[in-house]
Structure 1
């Protein structure tokens, strides 16, 4: 089974190693999707949605929401944000019955990245 939880955060960034429109300071309302792969535990759940929400809020959302992402990630492309999120969550969500499967980062409704570690 694949468990899916979506999140949103607003943040600013500029891509200093990119030559084009996005090297200027700008912002996005990002959509982040965290997916866990596993089997239901004794309570019938792959992972408690409430617990996952709290964990992701603490590890990611509280740091990223209304932040200047360059202060956290040197070149905050969607790709590098996805790697950061993966690294922050991979060990803390792992259980005997499940593991982190995939992270999606969407900068716009039509532009995003999927990372599977």
Structure 2
């Protein structure tokens, strides 16, 4: 097996509405976003030339994340204030549980709330 590691990234979008609790700005009112989600995995290239097949990564993210949040009111789903930061941590945790193969692992999650505002979670920060 090849010991060199490579990162792969797949990009997704989903639409959700929410409001922020205990917040005095405009976001205290119900509003929506088209979120952009970037999921990056890292691992060695297998005998077929993949870290993970993009199709398989797509299925995991669609099943574990997108199907839960797309076209939903986030305040009805979560017991936390649905900020971009906390939504990103929820995505990280869902993906960590789903990626049980030891050959690759979750390296980074980037969640864009608007075209100019996003959060980044890197493995090195998740101590």
RMSD of Structure 2 on Structure 1 (CA): 1.0
Contact 1:38 1:97 in 2 (8 A): yes
1:67 aligns to 2:72 (yes or no): yes
Alignment correspondent of 2:3: none
Contact 1:94 1:100 in 2 (8 A): no
1:16 aligns to 2:21 (yes or no): yes
1:40 aligns to 2:49 (yes or no): no
**CA–CA separation in structure 1 for the residues paired with 2:111 and 2:54:** 19
Q: Which runs of 5+ in 2 are unaligned?
A: 1-5
Alignment correspondent of 2:121: 115
Q: Which structure has the greater CA radius of gyration?
A: 2
Query: What is the 5 A alignment of 1:49-68?
Result: 49-68=54-73
Corresponding residue pairs, total: 117
TM-score, normalising length: structure 2 = 0.87
**CA–CA separation in structure 2 for the residues paired with 1:72 and 1:37:** 30
Q: Which runs of 5+ in 1 are unaligned?
A: none
TM-score, normalising length: structure 1 = 0.95
Runs of 4+ in 1 over 6 A off after TM superposition: none
